[in-house]
Amino acid sequence: MRTSGFLSIGAVLLAAACANGERTTAVRPPSFASAGGVPNLNGLPDLTVDAKRLTHSWLIRQEDASQCAIMEGGVSPGTHSVLRFTATTPNIGAADVFVGNPLDHVAANDGMFEYALCHDHYHFRHYATYELISLTTGAVVQAAKRGFCMVDVTPAAGPDGPPPGKRTYDTCGTRSLPGFQGISAGWADSYNRVLDGQYFVLDEPTAPVPPGGYTLRVTVNPPFVCGDLDAGRPRDPDGFCRMFAESDYTNNVGEAQITIPDDVTKSSGPGLSDALTPAELTAIMTKTNHPQN
């Protein structure tokens, strides 16, 4: 995936998208499909969050803050205890989430993308929010907005969605080169725990997280207060803007229960998070970004 360390980011709707549930997120096919698939725009997408993957992916470990985290996310230099996790968002709807070329949206100034200085490319706005919620008090102790590059990463598992067809979206693009973004029906985007920014800092002096039980919550295509550039964005039943229309907004949240130990200097986590693989560790140490970036 493609996110910067603790940069405020998210997802967005095509400028031509409608504000009601009768229209898909695009009104015309793109000029090309880089992976060879044909965009499916007949209907509406339906993004979900893979809670099982979230539950089995979290990991607490010690690592040095990346330069992008320091520059863009207000993280202090040095070694920190971080909670890493993987966020996977299957599209189980009837149609693709279609974005197309980010440079077209930047040229149109439609508010879909924002420039990430450190990574030198554009990030999708309002794609997802991450929250760490205390089981004791119910308070949100950490929160972040994430803006991604959306591409087809893995077939969407489970019986609730359509069978995956051919991979269609595979190119994030750069500040000067076109991309081709979206999530096909039956596919999922996935931001692996090794990526820069796929974590919460637990021991930042300005916002330390005490030991205890927490809910790790991921919300895809989250609601937000409409702004000046959002006249054409769809509204949910509560009147909030969404970056793109979906057939169902009620299944956009996935949660995992986690425990932060008294000694966060030791690796901690369930199941798949018992240890990082050599490849994952190398990716973190070299600050590897999303494969498509």
Give pLDDT tens digits for 179-191.
999 999 999 999 9
Q: Is 243 exposed, middle or buried (0-12, 13-18, 19+ CB in 10 A)?
A: buried
pTM attached to this predicted model: 0.81
- 107 — phi, psi (to 5°)? -65, -35
- Going from N- to C-terminal start, the domains of the chain cover 51-285
The answer to whether the CB of 100 falls within 8 A of the CB of 32 is no
The answer to whether the CB of 103 falls within 8 A of the CB of 178 is yes
Give pLDDT tens digits for 114-168.
887 776 778 888 899 999 999 999 999 999 887 778 999 999 866 666 778 888 9
What is the model's pLDDT at position 272?
40
d(CA 283, CA 172): 19
